[in-house]
Amino acid sequence: MHVGMNITLTKPFILRYFLLSLILSLPFFLFLFLHLFSPPQQYHRYATTPYNNNLRIRPGYSSYDAYIQRQLNKTLNPRLRKIWTTRDWNRKIPVFARFFEDLKGKKLLHTSSKALCVGARVGQEVEALRRVGVSDSVGMDLVPYPPLVVHGDFHDQPFENSTFDFEFSNVFDHALYPERFVAEIERTLKPHGVCVLHVALARRADKYSANDLYSVEPLVGLFKRSVLVHVRGVNGFGLDTEVAFRKNTSR
Ligand X SMILES: C[S@@+](CC[C@H](N)C(=O)[O-])C[C@H]1O[C@@H](n2cnc3c(N)ncnc32)[C@H](O)[C@@H]1O
Cis peptide before 94 (omega within 30 of 0): no
DSSP letter assigned to residue 251: -
The residue from 113, 124, 188, 211 that contacts ligand X (CB under 6 A) is 124
- Note whether 149 binds ligand X by CB under 6 A: no
Helix (H, G, I), strand (E, B) or coil at 94: helix
- Note whether 171 binds ligand X by CB under 6 A: yes
Q: How far is the CB of 160 from ligand X (least distance, A)?
A: 18
d(CA 95, CA 236): 8
CA distances from 62 to 17, 45, 46, 49, 232 (A): 40, 10, 10, 15, 36
- Note whether 188 binds ligand X by CB under 6 A: no
Region of 5-13, 48-56, 167-175, 216-224 interacting with ligand X (CB under 6 A): 167-175
Beta carbons of 167 and 116 less than 8 angstroms apart: yes
CA 215 to chain centre: 18
- Note whether 196 binds ligand X by CB under 6 A: no
- Note whether 116 binds ligand X by CB under 6 A: no
The residue from 80, 95, 142, 216 that contacts ligand X (CB under 6 A) is 142
d(CA 129, CA 61): 34
Size of the site for ligand X (CB under 6 A): 16
- Note whether 213 binds ligand X by CB under 6 A: no
Which CB atom, from 170 or from 241, has the smaller least distance to ligand X? 170
Which residues contact ligand X by CB under 6 A?
A: 71, 75, 119-121, 124-125, 141-143, 153-155, 170-171, 174
